[in-house]
Amino acid sequence: MRKPVVGVIGNSRMVDGRFGIQACGTKNLSAIADVAGALPLMFAGDPGITDIGALLDAVDGILLTGARANVHPTRFNTEPCEAHEPYDEDRDAVALALTEACIERGVPVFGVCRGFQEMVVAFGSSLHPEIREIPGRMNHRMPRLANGEPHPDHNIVFADRHDVALVPDGTFARIMGKDKIRVNSLHGQGILEPGKRVVVEGVAEDGTIEAIRIADAPGFALGVQWHAEYDPQTNPINRALFQEFGRALSEQHKRAA
């Protein structure tokens, strides 16, 4: 029996400063294969390569992954700033249009970190380029050494760092079976003002929005600010998310058969 297929968005990279490539993290692919029970298929985050209609005809769902690049500020009516680079405008063009197309068609879409930000911007939200600069907010960036270098221990980088309060009886609370969870944190941008169809379902202890759904979406349309793809094989919170995504993929696969 054919497995459901999940399109996993790629990111623009340069090798040796000369060769353009598309890449995505292996953790994303493993989460889809190991926990969602589907076949991951990477597609280019480049509108000159990826035809959204053809892509959605070929897959049963979409995973919008995290990435180093920020969503370009012009996508939410803000001036760009060198301090908040890098950007990946090709991926912006694909991901925002793709999010809208998924919702319109009822194709399951799951956004993680940057993917979460892409989903909310696609539906009218604004972002703050550095959420830690807002008074009262914590530093949501990845842990670093005293010299400013990224911490070399992934167990520290991806450790659970703060609580998220979930809306009682909401979609996430139902999936998790609880109203409070603890998650990792590795992001700079964050939601400033949510769009009308962006339903806030989880908030960190400092007020940062961490979990959303898209209102009136006919299919799975959830996003999380944390990196749920890192350890769903062992982390019950992240496993529950990818299992729920997997169930939605299976239903979509059956409908398309």
Its sign, for the CA torsion 253, 10, 236, 138, is: negative
Strands across the sheet with 180-183, in order? 39-43, 5-9, 61-64, 109-112, 221-224, 209-214, 198-204, 162-166, 180-183
Packed helices 89-105 and 114-122: angle between N→C axes, nearest 10 degrees:
60
Q: Give phi and psi for 64, each to the nearest 5.
A: -95, 110
227 catalytic residue (yes or no) = yes
| CA quadruple 92, 140, 176, 166: dihedral, nearest 10 | -100
**Catalytic, out of 72, 128, 140, 227:** 227
Pairing verdict, β 198-204 and 126-128:
unpaired
Contact of 72 with 129, CB cutoff 8 Å:
no
Contact of 59 with 6, CB cutoff 8 Å:
yes
The 10 Å Cβ neighbour count of residue 50 is: 21
**Catalytic, out of 102, 113, 128, 130:** 113
Contact of 124 with 104, CB cutoff 8 Å:
no
**Catalytic, out of 118, 201, 229, 244:** 229
Q: Which residues are catalytic?
A: 113, 227, 229
